[in-house]
A and B are shown apart, each in its own frame.
Chain A
Amino acid sequence: MLGAVKSGESYSALRVLVVEDNENMSRLLREVLRALGVGEVYSAASGPEALRVLSRVVPDVLLTDLALGKMSGIELTRRIRRGEDSINPYVPIIMVTGHADQRRIAEARDAGIHEFVAKPVSPVSLARYLSEVVERPRPFVSMSSYFGPDRRRRVVNRRSSDRRERSGKIISPDEIAAYVERLREKIAEGPVERAKVPPGSEAIAFRAKAKEGTA
């Protein structure tokens, strides 16, 4: 799905996972997403629950609160991006929070989020950030110090001196879309958990290579 939505198209085929521990906020986000035309909306009330959902659903976007109790939205992002048990490290993550200070924004970006949305949330702001991640998918950067979306928003001519090229790996939106498609096929056969994935399977191998920058 990701990468297939072009500017101006509706979101009826889109799947979004909302991770929010406050029921009122969760309900508002879910209903606004449905009103915007998002086809499938899933929810989780905590980080661990979100990880469980991710073993049986492959969302196109994950929307998470920052303050989520024991496992914060930033910790959840780290687990998704770099955790050994993460099966979909490329899912675009939009962080929604009332803690919009520079320190937390920097921490969230370093963890690998795509967008940071300050509460209060409006339909227009939600739609804008959703459009940004869905219609303009960014490549991923895999380096020893960072794994997440390329933080450069402009398309630049990469030179051989590009630090990312030299010390890491750029994973293109097409490669990510292919990985997600394979993951969807696998999940259609049943929930994918680390223990249930055969060692050396295509998904895990690709994931490991991506982490090492050799995919």
Chain B
Amino acid sequence: MRSKALDFTSRLPGFVAAFAAAVGVTATLGVALLLIWAHGSGVGSAAADEPWPPFVMVYRDTARGYGPNGSMGTQVFRLDYRDSRHFRSVLLEHSAVPEAVGLTQTFDGRQSTFADPRFGVRVTPYAPHERTVPADWLVPAQVPPLAQRPGATTVRLASGLALVTHEAIYGARRVRTEITYRELDGIPIQMVESTDGDETRRVEVVELRLGSR
């Protein structure tokens, strides 16, 4: 008959292994959490995390709903993009509301400022882990997020461009979205949306100037 002390001794290597494993898992989780925190707070190499180089673009956004009373209309913007936490858009033209020209939307990582020449300024604070985007069709990423949706397809075009296409049914409507972007850095240069075969939105970059970081 074996004593309880002997039983404990015989199990000792197992306890040591389990303890070591627990320490290892804890350390791994700690490092992972530290990396996530560092990524979210901007600690470390910010440039390495940035999908796009700095750039300035002028783009024309024509869509159903931008015109008076729900009709087609056009807005033209100039976007100064430094990184995913620093950018500024200025409205250069509006086909239906010319008095809104000069409207400025700025994000500096800590706050977003919406300055409308007609209705004044509105400021929204942002926490370090939160962010917004330069436009709904311009989401900083190496590959447009649209490409990650189920059913999306990507094809290479000439001149270093790629085209992401996605189709989905919303209610009874078939919506097709196409984004053309530069393979080199992922910057989109065109977005076309059609609903039941009719073009309902077209965004085109009319001028793009790349900077360096």
Chain A complexes with chain B: no
